[in-house]
């Protein structure tokens, strides 16, 4: 069997390349230590490095919070556009509108202990599709669910209760959109209890049901691991039509389903229920298409047991102790397409009963059956077979006769067998083979000639318990190659024949060798390379020793090694490398070890860098100076890592995402800058520092929190603080000296300026009265142009925009606030009012009202009101008759006309900004 390994970086790194939805996510992840956020659209196994929750396919942006006690406090900083939310802690009650601020939420997973769910707790979750209540301890907890709590979830498709007792929750109304219902490890004793829990689940079970019962909506009912569920009850599932029913790990007798009133069932799973015979009566009654009977005690199958199973398309009998199959096994199951007989005792000689030549069987799993010999024509009765799994047996010899008749076979798994020799033509009877697995065998030599026959063989896995020598010619369609050997792997390529189309290569071995006098092996199309356990010499700086001299299309390199010897390691000839993962290289194992900056020097396109257990010692600015495109830096399993103060030079160019996972730092004040940087970094998301510890030396095991050490032992920039104090004292002395000279004529003006500056510094005075720079009035028809063209030009920070604070009615008016009152208040709170005018705007009642309010303020408060008009199109003067006084109060530069050309548009924007600044200054003065 293959040895267990740590999850590789390759399963997770591509995810972190996607940006988080907004910068608010970055600050939230830092200020909420028990919460994690990430975008998992490309990273399914993020949970290995960052605590997360299992997500449904298609969900990306998620938050996972642990140790939750105050729900409101925990959820307040969570981004509003989150798609998945997982909460773990102790919350006694879920109040109304608890998740009202998350309209985009599609998955909600709650592990909150004993809890009461009130009415309206899920109000506003109109897009929620997956909801689960989970408790994984052996005992069940009480869950109090209000009868109408689930009614707002109109799109809910799956509902799960794990480890909860629902005895105190009755008459729960399930949404009709629900297709999957799961109650695992609960206190159910009989199926009839479901009618009291969910009255609209079973049609007509509710005493208050309407005369016309609702149509059944559930597809999958999972009642696995209910150890007390032993009774069905009369008509317990009356009228229900299910696609799948799972009763794994329950003592329930399948025969009880016959009187349950269940109308339709396609798939039944009875794994680990103690069955000793096939449930033929149940299979024939429902005409089942799929039956899973794994991990039971069915050691013998009689011919009579199969008579009622003719409708089956999938049958799983894994781990039952079967020793023999009846003669009529295949002929009695004419519809069977998938058969799982793994982990039984059918060996040592395989004897498959002869069946019809027209057998429909597509997938056959005979793994772990102690098979030693495959007789000639063993599978000749299965002409339609496409997948054959023979892993974990004792097969030692194979020939074309053993696999005769499998002309449509696409997948063949022979891993972890005793195979030592392969005959040259052993695959000649498998012309359609696409995937071949020979991992864990005893092969020592394998040539491309031994793989002749299949024309479409594209995925190949080879492995040996000792050493493995590989010879060409390679299969012409080969796209993926994986080779394992506990000793070494040797590529014997006398002519340097290339792997022309190979895109993915995985090598796991302590040593990779080339036949003497070989130059190299060429991989011109390789895009993904994974190396585990190999010595770093294969990337030697000496061209004559390099195994991979040129990899022009390589994008992802995953290199884990158990060796040192990195002093000559160089990575070049990889101009397109985007993702680099290095682990267990032990950089500081010997004197003169290579530095990180030397390895990364010639990787201009690198975007993701993951470093794990490298014993880096200290990171400085030189390590990352040439990585201009780096977006993600992940440091994992580092011991006593130092962050040099020179790294502060890179803060503006730091990667977008920096993750620290299981990193122990050195307790030194030189790295005290990382705390303020992580909390205030405008362009970088930093994770992992809040839980990191530091050590004063190698024998220090006190586990001091890194940030606590910095705050308690390190002064905060003493040089800068001294400079500020000195500068302030000198400046005040100069000011006081100047104020003591009343004869100077400019002194009064200087006092006025200083007074104004002082009030502005304190946030008081006239400028503090205006939270907005401009109030913008426009009609609904012009809204798209205003939001897409005008607002970015005025709101974006310089140099892209003017950096003004705009007040937009649809965006900034409060919910439920009277619009007229809000318009008056907003004009009072703005330094200027800008009316965007068009023919549609003049016909709008609100635009007319806002223009009249602004005009009235010009008359009533001529010294404090400023009005600017922006005409999007020529307007007839007759349409402006109601505003004759505008010409009296407005200056020429208060009118603007939208130009047609782009060059004129830039000039117009500059004039508009200039007039807005002037209007604001005039009002403040």
pLDDT tens digits along 815-874: 777 788 888 888 888 888 888 888 888 888 888 888 888 887 777 766 666 788 888 888
- Report the chain's C-alpha Rg in angstroms: 37
pLDDT of residue 449: 87
**What gap in Å lies between CA 290 and CA 334, rounded to an integer?**
14
pLDDT of residue 893: 67
* Whole-number percent of the chain with pLDDT over 70: 78
DSSP-derived pairing of the beta strands 693-695 and 704-705: antiparallel
Which among 97, 183, 107, 96 is positioned nearest to 143, based on CA atoms?
A: 183
Write out the E strands in 141-229.
141-145, 158-162, 164-165, 180-184, 220-222
Decide which of 128 and 380 is more confident: 128
702 pLDDT more than 70? yes
Q: Which of 344-358, 469-483, 682-696 has the highest mean pLDDT?
A: 469-483
Q: Average pLDDT, stretch 434-446?
A: 93
Angle at the Cα of 524 (from 520 to 530), degrees rounded to 5?
Answer: 80
The answer to whether the CB of 1 falls within 8 A of the CB of 440 is: yes
Q: 29: pLDDT confidence band, cut at 50, 70 and 90? A: very low
Tokens of 53: 């929750």
The answer to whether the CB of 135 falls within 8 A of the CB of 159 is: no
pLDDT of residue 587: 66
Cross-sheet strand order for the sheet of 468-471: 445-447, 468-471, 489-491, 512-514
176 pLDDT more than 80? yes
pLDDT of residue 133: 94
The answer to whether the CB of 399 falls within 8 A of the CB of 373 is: no
Tokens of 539: 């990337």
Write the DSSP string, 39-98. E-TT-TTGGGTS------TT--EEEEEEEE--HHHHHTTS-TT-SEEEEEE--SEE-TTT
**What gap in Å lies between CA 149 and CA 169, rounded to an integer?**
11
**What gap in Å lies between CA 282 and CA 270, rounded to an integer?**
12
pLDDT of residue 343: 95
Q: Average pLDDT, stretch 521-547?
A: 80
Q: 272: pLDDT confidence band, cut at 50, 70 and 90? A: very high
482 pLDDT more than 90? yes
Write the DSSP string, 210-262. -SSPPPP---EEE-TT-TT--B--TTTTTT-EEEEEE-TT----GGGGGGTT-
Enumerate residues 6+ apart whose C-beta is below 8 A from 760.
767
Q: Average pLDDT, stretch 83-92?
A: 90
Tokens of 175: 């949404």
Q: 771: pLDDT confidence band, cut at 50, 70 and 90? A: confident
Q: 566: pLDDT confidence band, cut at 50, 70 and 90? A: low
Q: 682: pLDDT confidence band, cut at 50, 70 and 90? A: low
**What gap in Å lies between CA 239 and CA 203, rounded to an integer?**
6
277-312 residue pLDDT tens: 999 899 999 999 999 999 999 998 888 888 889 999
Distances 635 to 212, 475, 661, 688 between C-alpha atoms, Å? 62, 39, 6, 10
**What gap in Å lies between CA 84 and CA 130, rounded to an integer?**
9
The secondary structure of residue 901, as a DSSP letter, is S
pLDDT of residue 31: 37
**What gap in Å lies between CA 489 and CA 818, rounded to an integer?**
78
Write the DSSP string, 119-145. TTTTTT-TT--EEEEE--SSS-EEEEE
Which among 547, 551, 542 is positioned nearest to 570, based on CA atoms?
A: 542
25 pLDDT more than 50? no
Q: Average pLDDT, stretch 736-749?
A: 56
Which among 786, 837, 788, 838 is positioned nearest to 809, based on CA atoms?
A: 786
Q: Is the pTM of this model over 0.85?
A: no
Decide which of 34 and 42 is more confident: 34
389 pLDDT more than 80? yes
Sign, Cα dihedral of 509, 515, 520, 524? negative
Query: 692: number of CA atoms within 13 Å, CB side?
Result: 33
571 pLDDT more than 80? yes
Q: Average pLDDT, stretch 610-616?
A: 84
3-class secondary-structure state, position 283: helix
pLDDT of residue 631: 81
544 pLDDT more than 70? no
The answer to whether the CB of 35 falls within 8 A of the CB of 29 is: yes
214-248 residue pLDDT tens: 456 789 999 999 999 999 888 888 888 999 999 99
pLDDT of residue 735: 67
Decide which of 20 and 739 is more confident: 739
**What gap in Å lies between CA 491 and CA 601, rounded to an integer?**
29
Tokens of 683: 């362009």
Q: Average pLDDT, stretch 505-530?
A: 83
* Whole-number percent of the chain with pLDDT over 90: 28
Torsion of CA 51, 156, 288, 247, to 10 degrees: 50
Angle at the Cα of 628 (from 624 to 633), degrees rounded to 5?
Answer: 55
4 pLDDT more than 50? no
Decide which of 612 and 438 is more confident: 438
Phi, psi of 455 (to 5 degrees): -95, -15
pLDDT of residue 805: 85
pLDDT of residue 633: 85
pLDDT of residue 411: 97
Partnered with residue 693 across adjacent β-strands are: 664, 705
Tokens of 382: 């299965």
**What gap in Å lies between CA 51 and CA 197, rounded to an integer?**
34
DSSP-derived pairing of the beta strands 61-68 and 93-94: unpaired
3-class secondary-structure state, position 690: helix
Instruction: Specify the range with the lowest mean pLDDT, choosing from 452-461, 466-475, 562-571, 764-773.
Output: 764-773
Q: 213: pLDDT confidence band, cut at 50, 70 and 90? A: very low
Tokens of 510: 């302590």
Tokens of 302: 């009689």
Tokens of 209: 């049901």
- For the chain, give percent helix, strand, coil, nearest 5: 25, 20, 55
Partnered with residue 774 across adjacent β-strands are: 806, 832
Enumerate residues 6+ apart whose C-beta is below 8 A from 653.
628
Decide which of 249 and 843 is more confident: 249
The answer to whether the CB of 144 falls within 8 A of the CB of 170 is: no
Decide which of 23 and 793 is more confident: 793
**What gap in Å lies between CA 77 and CA 80, rounded to an integer?**
9
Q: 731: pLDDT confidence band, cut at 50, 70 and 90? A: confident
152 pLDDT more than 80? yes
Enumerate residues 6+ apart whose C-beta is below 8 A from 387.
362, 363, 364, 409, 410, 411
Q: Average pLDDT, stretch 731-750?
A: 61
**What gap in Å lies between CA 223 and CA 241, rounded to an integer?**
16
CA 386 from chain centre, in angstroms, equals 33
Across all residues in the chain, what is the average pLDDT? 80
pLDDT of residue 565: 63
């Amino acid at each position: 069997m293959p040895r267990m390994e740590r999850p590789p970086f390759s399963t997770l790194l591509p995810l972190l390349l996607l940006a988080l939805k907004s910068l608010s996510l970055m600050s939230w992840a830092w200020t909420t230590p028990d919460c994690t956020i990430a975008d998992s659209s490309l990273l399914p196994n993020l949970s290995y490095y960052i605590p997360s929750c299992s997500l449904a396919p298609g969900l990306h942006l998620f938050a996972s919070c642990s140790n939750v006690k105050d729900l409101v406090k925990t959820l307040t900083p969570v981004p509003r556009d989150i798609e998945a939310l997982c909460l773990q802690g102790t919350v006694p009650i879920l109040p109304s509108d608890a998740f009202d601020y998350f309209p985009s939420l599609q998955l909600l997973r709650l592990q909150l202990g004993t809890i009461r769910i009130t009415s309206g707790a899920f109000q506003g979750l109109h897009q929620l599709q997956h909801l689960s209540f989970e408790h994984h301890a052996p005992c069940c907890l009480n869950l109090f669910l209000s009868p109408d709590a689930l009614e707002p979830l109109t799109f809910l498709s799956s509902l799960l209760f794990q480890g909860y007792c629902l005895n105190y929750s009755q008459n729960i109304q399930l949404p009709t959109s629900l297709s999957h219902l799961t109650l695992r490890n609960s206190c159910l004793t009989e199926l009839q209890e479901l009618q009291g829990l969910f009255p609209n689940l079973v049609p007509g079970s509710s005493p208050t049901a309407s005369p016309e019962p609702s149509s059944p909506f559930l597809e999958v009912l999972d009642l696995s691991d209910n150890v007390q569920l032993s009774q069905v009850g009369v008509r317990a599932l009356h009228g229900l039509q299910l696609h799948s029913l799972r009763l794994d790990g329950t003592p329930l007798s399948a025969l009880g389903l016959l009187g349950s009133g269940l109308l339709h069932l396609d798939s039944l799973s009875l794994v680990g229920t103690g069955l000793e015979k096939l449930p033929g009566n149940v299979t024939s009654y429902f005409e089942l298409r799929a039956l899973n009977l794994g991990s039971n005690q069915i050691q013998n199958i009689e011919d009579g047991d199969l008579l009622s199973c003719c409708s089956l398309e999938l049958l799983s009998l894994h781990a039952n102790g079967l020793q023999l199959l009846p003669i009529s096994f295949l002929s009695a199951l004419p519809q069977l397409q998938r058969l799982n007989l793994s982990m039984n005792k059918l060996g040592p000689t395989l004897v498959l009963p002869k069946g019809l030549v027209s057998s429909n069987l597509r997938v056959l799993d005979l793994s772990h059956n102690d098979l030693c010999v495959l007789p000639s024509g063993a599978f000749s009765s299965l002409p339609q077979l496409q997948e054959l799994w023979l892993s974990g047996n004792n097969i030692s010899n194979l020939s074309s006769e053993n696999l005769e008749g499998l002309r449509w076979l696409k997948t063949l798994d022979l891993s972890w067998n005793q195979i030592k020799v392969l005959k040259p033509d052993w695959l000649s009877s498998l012309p359609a083979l696409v995937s071949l697995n020979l991992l864990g065998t005893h092969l020592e030599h394998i040539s491309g000639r031994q793989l002749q026959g299949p024309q479409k063989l594209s995925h190949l896995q080879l492995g040996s318990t000792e050493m493995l020598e590989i010879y060409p010619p390679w299969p012409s369609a080969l796209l993926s190659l994986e080779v394992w050997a506990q000793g070494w792997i040797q590529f014997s390529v006398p002519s340097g024949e290339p792997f022309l189309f190979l895109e993915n290569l995985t090598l796991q071995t302590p040593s990779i060798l080339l036949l003497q006098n070989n130059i190299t092996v060429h991989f011109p199309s390789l895009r993904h390379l994974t190396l585990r356990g190999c010595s770093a010499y294969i990337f030697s700086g000496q061209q004559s020793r390099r195994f991979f001299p040129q990899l022009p299309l390589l994008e992802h390199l995953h290199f884990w090694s158990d060796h040192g010897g990195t002093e000559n390691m160089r990575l070049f000839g990889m101009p397109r490398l985007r993702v680099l993962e290095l682990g267990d290289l032990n950089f500081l194992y010997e004197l003169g070890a290579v530095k990180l900056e030397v390895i990364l020097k010639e990787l201009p396109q690198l975007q993701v860098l993951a470093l794990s257990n490298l014993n880096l010692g200290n990171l400085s600015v030189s390590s990352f100076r040439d990585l201009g495109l780096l977006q993600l830096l992940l440091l994992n399993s580092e011991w006593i890592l130092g962050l040099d103060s020179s790294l502060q030079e890179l803060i503006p160019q730091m990667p977008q995402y920096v993750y620290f996972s299981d990193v122990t730092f050195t307790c030194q004040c030189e790295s005290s800058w990382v705390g303020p940087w992580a909390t205030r970094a405008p362009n970088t998301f930093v994770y992992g520092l809040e839980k990191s510890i530091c050590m004063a030396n190698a024998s220090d095991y006190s586990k001091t929190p890194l940030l606590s050490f910095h705050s308690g032992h390190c002064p905060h920039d003493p040089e800068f603080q001294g400079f500020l104090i000195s500068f302030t004292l000198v400046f005040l002395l100069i000011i006081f000296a100047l104020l003591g000279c009343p004869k100077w004529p400019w002194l009064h003006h200087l006092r006025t300026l200083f007074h104004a500056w002082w009030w502005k510094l304190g946030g008081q005075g006239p400028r503090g009265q205006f939270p907005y720079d401009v109030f913008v009035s426009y009609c609904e028809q012009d809204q798209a142009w205003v939001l897409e063209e005008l607002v970015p030009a005025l709101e974006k920070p310089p140099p892209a925009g003017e950096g003004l604070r705009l007040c937009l009615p649809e965006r900034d008016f409060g919910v439920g606030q009277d619009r007229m009152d809000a318009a008056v208040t907003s004009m009072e709170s703005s330094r200027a009012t800008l009316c965007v005018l068009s023919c549609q705007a003049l016909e709008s009642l609100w635009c007319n009202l806002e223009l009249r309010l602004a005009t009235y303020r010009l008359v009533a408060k001529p010294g404090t009101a400023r009005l600017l008009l922006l005409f999007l199109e020529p307007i007839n003067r007759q349409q402006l008759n109601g505003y004759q006084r505008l010409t009296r109060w407005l200056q020429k530069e208060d009118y603007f006309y939208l130009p047609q050309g782009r060059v004129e548009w830039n000039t117009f924007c500059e004039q508009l900004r200039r007039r807005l600044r002037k209007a604001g200054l005039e009002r403040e003065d």
